[in-house]
């Protein structure tokens, strides 16, 4: 007999995988020149990110790694 109940009831780990556990959520308005937004959009397209938030997070982490502030 094949059990299919695991497909309909996700585990705690699966539930937490889709949300930002322990993160800070802040509503901020970013005022940047249009050329910066255009560059961010190019990064998003090149790396196949879903949205500008993912592209910005990637960019921040990349700079932090280059400066030696974060290890990858």
For residue 42, tell me if it sits in a domain: yes
For residue 3, tell me if it sits in a domain: no
| Mean pLDDT, residues 47-61 taken together | 92
| Mean pLDDT, residues 34-43 taken together | 94
- What region, left, alpha or beta, does residue 29 occupy, with left being phi > 0 and alpha being psi -120 to 50 degrees? beta
Start-end of H helices in 1-72:
5-8, 12-17, 34-47, 52-66
* Greater model confidence, 11 or 25: 25
For the ranges 18-22, 37-41, 66-70, the lowest mean pLDDT is seen at 18-22
pTM for the structure as a whole: 0.60
Residue 44 and residue 58: Cα distance in Å, rounded? Answer: 9
Number of domains, the chain: 1
Residue numbers of the domain that contains 37: 30-72
For residue 56, tell me if it sits in a domain: yes
For residue 54, tell me if it sits in a domain: yes
């Amino acid at each position: 007999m094949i059990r299919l109940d695991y497909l309909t009831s996700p585990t705690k780990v699966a539930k937490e995988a889709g949300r930002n556990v322990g993160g800070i959520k802040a509503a901020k308005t970013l005022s940047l020149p249009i050329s910066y937004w255009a560059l961010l959009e190019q990064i998003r397209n090149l790396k196949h990110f879903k949205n500008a938030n993912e592209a910005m997070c990637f960019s921040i982490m990349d700079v932090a790694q280059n400066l030696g502030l974060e290890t990858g």
